[in-house]
Amino acid sequence: MQAAMRVVALRGANEVKSNTAEDILSATDKLMREILTRNALKTEDLVSCIFTLTPDLDAQFPAAAARAMGLSSVPLLCAREIPVPGALPNIIRVLIHAYMDRPAEHVYLGEAAKLRLDLTGAQ
């Protein structure tokens, strides 16, 4: 018997080398491709994506990377993380809503893995 499809929320984050458009786009592309691959998602499975950047990143919208990889029909939103003292710098985060019939695998790459040490074994 096949499991019913439901909307799930997937989280992920990646570090950005520097505040340049190229580095923001590259880090976003890598993060999105890893999330989609690990969760066997196609564009048509995606409901929406919300990207956030730490306050030190403002050279480009992460949504531009998602559009470049073909997510032109998916609603995308970019926002700024609140500037909490001591927070990890140079981080892009994403919250993806998608139709899935299995548990979500969250993806935290590079230094961003420190944000979710509870998931380290799954990385």
Residue 109: count other Cβ atoms within 10 Å of its Cβ.
17
Distance from C-alpha of 13 to C-alpha of 93, rounded to nearest angstrom: 4
Query: What predicted TM-score, i.e. pTM, was given to this entire model?
Result: 0.91
Does 93 appear as a known binding residue? yes
Q: 107-119: per-residue pLDDT in tens? A: 999 989 888 777 6
Could you tell me where the DSSP H helices lie in the chain? 21-38, 63-68
Is 93 considered catalytic here?
A: yes
Question: How does residue 122 score in pLDDT terms, banded at 50, 70 and 90?
Answer: very low
Q: What is the dihedral of CA 31, 35, 36, 38, to 10 degrees?
A: 130
Q: 23-33: per-residue pLDDT in tens? A: 999 999 999 99
Does 11 appear as a known binding residue? yes
pLDDT at 123: 42
Angle subtended at Cα 79 by Cα 77 and Cα 83, rounded to the nearest 5 degrees = 165
Average pLDDT over residues 27-40: 98
| Domains with residue ranges and CATH for the chain | 6-110 (3.30.1330.40)
Is 116 considered catalytic here?
A: yes
